[in-house]
Amino acid sequence: MTGICDGRVVVVTGAGRGLGRAHALAFAAEGACVVVNDLGVGPDGTSDAESPAARVAEEIRAAGGDAVAHGGDIATPGGAASLVTTALETYGRLDTLVNNAGFLRDRMLVNLDEDDWDAVLRVHLKGHFLTLRHAAAHWRAEAKAGRTPVARIVNTSSGAGLLGSVGQGNYSAAKAGIVALTLVAAAELARYGVQVNALAPAARTRMTERAFAETMAAPDTGFDAMAPENVSPLVVWLGSARSEGVTGRVFEAEAGRITVMEGWRPGPTADKGARWNPAEAGEAVRKLLAGSEPPGPVYGA
């Protein structure tokens, strides 16, 4: 297979199903060798007897591509390190990391216990950090050895991380953290030839099947607007050498729509030049808010 990722080695986490599987297949279709990572757990992170990573890797090979399965837990230092090692030992290089693994433990905040908080932050935020850290360490070593890579990282955030989502305080916090991690990584790793971007996708997966229970297929074209395969072309482009110069950005992708997200930046400001008293501060804030853009609505509010 040849395409815009011909010769590149790509790691995709959580690639056994849904968005991750779609990304892995799309990269392979564009010529990449793919390391398919999936721990093989249910939508809530509990044990699942299946081995979806091996199944997707075989699917890629059956189509004429090259792939290897990795079943390690990327939210552990050993699992994240072995993921990078698998790419290097199997293919001799690593070019792109797509962080996609995750699951949900939805609860309203008053019912959200510590275990559900920790579990979601662990797989989403810690899982992103550990794989990024180990891949970045390899690329830094390559750059210092005079072999500056054309490396790419694509992280997976969510609209919940950008706007919040009722009943998903843990997930929203993790996904917001991924955006901040993306911005810091893009700034720190640029000197080593690494570009880092984030994606907030909307698609029908095991995690979103209740939200997208009704299909959005257009009757006249048959276009399945919520298919995860709609998101993958942007991910593949961001993971390719052709995305040169694009880093530290966040995109939304849904159906046939791609949006550049514009995050926190200074809005209306008042400066007294001295300390405010509480009543003055409140009056100033009221005036500033009246001239500011209202925030987007929290999902489910």
Looking from the CA of 230 toward its CB, the CA atoms found within 13 Å total: 20
Measured between alpha carbons, how far is 46 from 79 in angstroms, rounded to an integer? 17
Catalytic residue flag (residue 158): yes
Of the listed 158, 165, 232, 240, which one is catalytic?
A: 158
Question: Is 175 tagged catalytic?
Answer: yes
Given the residues 82, 126, 165, 175, select the one marked as catalytic: 175
Catalytic residue of the set 171, 172, 240, 243: 171
**Torsions phi, psi for 199 (to 5 deg):** -125, 135
Pairing of strands 250-254, 33-37: unpaired
Three state DSSP letters for the chain: CCCCCCCCEEEECCCCCHHHHHHHHHHHHCCCEEEEECCCECCCCCECCCCHHHHHHHHHHHCCCEEEEECCCCCCHHHHHHHHHHHHHHHCCCCEEECCCCCCCCECHHHCCHHHHHHHHHHHHHHHHHHHHHHHHHHHHHHHCCCCCCEEEEEECCHHHHHCECCEHHHHHHHHHHHHHHHHHHHHHHHHCEEEEEEEEECCCCCCCCCCCCCCCCCCCCCCCCCHHHCHHHHHHHCCHHHCCCCCCEEEEECCEEEEECCCCCCCCCCCCCCCCHHHHHHHHHHHHHCCCCCCCCECC
Could you give the residue numbers annotated as active site?
158, 171, 175
